[in-house]
Amino acid sequence: ISDGLAQAPTRAIEREQRRIAADVTELATLALAFPYDTAAQRPNRAAMRALDEQLVAMLPRLSGIEDRMAALRRYGSLPDEVAKLIAEISRWFAQPQIGIEAQDFRRAGAAILSATGPQSGWADLLTVSLVVRLDELIDAWQRCLELSTLARNPPAVGSHRLRTIFAPRAAKPLHRDHGIAALSALTAAFAMTVGTVFWIATAWPNGDEAVGFVAVACSLFAALDDPSLGMLKFIIGTVASVPIVAIYQFGILPAIDGYTALMISLAPALLPIGIVMAIPKYASMGLALAFGFSVQLAIQPTYSADMATFLNSSIAVVLGFTVGVAVTRLIRALGAQTAARRLLRAGREDLADLADGNISPTRAEWTSRMLDRVGLLLPRMRQAAPRDVDPQTADALHDLRTGINLIDLKQVAESLTERGRKTMMRVLTGAAGHFRSFARGRQQTLSTDFLRDIDVLIGDILVLGSGSDRTKGLAAIVGLRRDLYPDAPPYIPSPLPVQA
C-alpha cells in the first residue's frame, strides 16, 4: 500500500494487486476450517470473517486512489497540500502499529473537501474523489489491524465499534457459473450412462465399481476448466500404485497382526506419498497416488485377498477414470481463453444488472464476488495467448471499481432534485447498455451525449446541500467518468446565470 501511494503505478504493482486478490479469497477458504482447530485458543472465526471483508474492501479503494493520482498528474500536478497528505499517509502505512495520526489525516482531508463548490473544476473534483478514497482506505486499514489483533487474541480488543462489525454474516459471496455447473452435471450423467451400458453389455461383475468411479472422476474435477487433465493424473497414479498395493496385499498384510504392526508397515508407502502431496508442484500426483493406494488396498476388519478380485477392482478404477476422460474431452473441456472470457462476461453482465437495478448488492458483497473473479482470472490470463483475450479489456479490478462507483452513486439519488434523478436514470441506463453490449462481445464507442449526461449529473451533485452526500456522490461520479472515459477532456462547470 505504501509503495502504491509513493510512486506511480507499475506493472509489478498491478500484478501484486491481482495476486493479493487471489490470496484474500484463499484466506477466507482456509478460515472455514477454524471450527475444527484443536488449539487451546482457536482463532476467532467471526473476527476473521470481518477481517476478510475489510481486506477485500481495500484493493478497489487503492486502485481508485492510484487512478485519481495518475489523472491529477496528467492534467498538471498534485496540489501541494494533497501531495503532502499522501506522503504522510504513505509513511503511516509503512509503520507496524496504529498511530493517532489517522485523525490528523481526516482533519486535513476535510479541510480540502470543504473548498469545493458549484464552480469547482476537474482538478478539484479529482481531488475530492482522491481524498474520499484515502479516508476510506485509512479507516479500512485501522480496522484490519485491530481485527487482526482480535483474531489472534480475542480478549485483547474490546472495542464496541469492532464488535458491531462482525455480527453474524451470510456466506461469503463468490463467483458462480451456473452454465458450467449444468454442463458438468450433464457430462457426469452421460459418462455414467456410457459406463452403465458397458457394464450391462459385458455382464462384468465389477462393472458397478467402474460406474462409481466414473461419477467420482466427473465430480472430483468438475470445477477445473479442463477436468480431463486431473483425471489423467489419477489414472497414472492408480496404475503406478498397483504393484505397490499388490506387494502389500499379498506379501505384507498376511503377516500382519494388530493395529501397531499395520501402522508401521504402511508408513514406508504413505509417508513418501504424504511428502509428495506437501510439495505444491507435485501435490496433484501425490494425491493421485494416495487415492490409488487407499482405494485399491481397501483395508477391512478381517484380511481377505483374492487376485481376481484385486485385478478386477484395479481395472474398474482405471476404466472408470478413462471413461470420464473420454466423455469430458468430448463435452466439457474448456480452454483458458474461454474460461477467461466467461469470467469477464459474468462481471460485465453483473455491472449491467447493477446499473439497471436488477441486483442490489452491498459494497462488501460486490467486492467479494468481483475479487474472487480477479483471483480466478489471473492464472487463466497467464495461460491464454494475448490474441485470445485483450489485456486492455480483461481488467476485472477495473470492473470491480466501476461497480462500487455505481453502488455509491445510487445511494445519493434521493438527495437529488427531480432533474438530477432523471439525469442519473439516463446515466445508469446508458451504463447498463454499454456493459451489456460489452458482455456480448460488442465493444461500442461511448457517445458524447452520454459523457454530457455524466457532466450534467456532476453539476447536479455539486449543488447538493448535504456535505456527506455531495462528497460521496462526487467521488462516485468522478470515478465513473474516469472508468468510462479515461481519455475524455476535463469536466468544465456550467457558467453561473447572469443576474440582472
Residue 51 has phi, psi (to 5 degrees) of: -60, -45
- Same domain for 193 and 109: no
Q: Read out DSSP for 35-63? A: GG--SSS---HHHHHHHHHHHHHHHHHHH
Q: How far is CA 253 from the centre of its chain?
A: 47
pLDDT of residue 166: 59
- Same domain for 415 and 302: no
Say if 490 falls within a structural domain: no
Say if 498 falls within a structural domain: no
pLDDT of residue 353: 94
Q: Read out DSSP for 323-335? A: HHHHHHHHHT---
Are 352 and 401 spatial neighbours (Cβ–Cβ below 8 Å)?
Answer: no
Rounded Cα–Cα distance for residues 498 and 373 (Å) = 51
Most confident of 294-308, 399-413, 429-443: 399-413
Q: What percent of the chain has pLDDT over 90?
A: 27
- Same domain for 391 and 448: yes
- Same domain for 408 and 274: no
Are 339 and 207 spatial neighbours (Cβ–Cβ below 8 Å)?
Answer: no
Instruction: Choose one of 285, 309, 331: the last residue of a domain.
Output: 331
Q: How far is CA 397 from the centre of its chain?
A: 10
Give me the count of residues in the chain. Answer: 500
Are 487 and 129 spatial neighbours (Cβ–Cβ below 8 Å)?
Answer: no
Report pLDDT digits (tens) over 463-495: 887 678 888 999 999 999 999 998 888 888 876
Report pLDDT digits (tens) over 76-108: 778 888 888 888 888 888 775 555 567 777 788
- Same domain for 323 and 342: no
- Same domain for 321 and 230: yes
Give which of 367, 458, 352 is closest to 63, Cα–Cα: 367
- Same domain for 204 and 145: no
Say if 196 falls within a structural domain: yes
Rounded Cα–Cα distance for residues 293 and 272 (Å) = 12
Rounded Cα–Cα distance for residues 47 and 26 (Å) = 16
pLDDT of residue 321: 93
- Same domain for 340 and 303: no
151 or 445, higher pLDDT: 445
Confidence grade of residue 498 (pLDDT, cut at 50, 70, 90): very low
Say if 26 falls within a structural domain: yes
Confidence grade of residue 159 (pLDDT, cut at 50, 70, 90): low
Report pLDDT digits (tens) over 356-405: 988 888 888 888 888 888 878 877 776 665 555 454 445 777 888 899 99
Say if 494 falls within a structural domain: no
Instruction: Choose one of 301, 331, 361: the last residue of a domain.
Output: 331
DSSP secondary structure code for residue 249 in this structure: I
- What is the domain count for the chain? 3
372: containing domain: 336-484
Instruction: Choose one of 271, 298, 331: the last residue of a domain.
Output: 331
Say if 173 falls within a structural domain: no
- Same domain for 318 and 243: yes
- Same domain for 390 and 342: yes
- Same domain for 448 and 354: yes
pLDDT of residue 394: 52
Report pLDDT digits (tens) over 221-256: 888 888 888 899 889 988 999 999 999 988 888 888
Confidence grade of residue 111 (pLDDT, cut at 50, 70, 90): confident
Say if 390 falls within a structural domain: yes
- Same domain for 155 and 198: no
Are 357 and 365 spatial neighbours (Cβ–Cβ below 8 Å)?
Answer: no
Say if 45 falls within a structural domain: yes
Q: How far is CA 380 from the centre of its chain?
A: 13
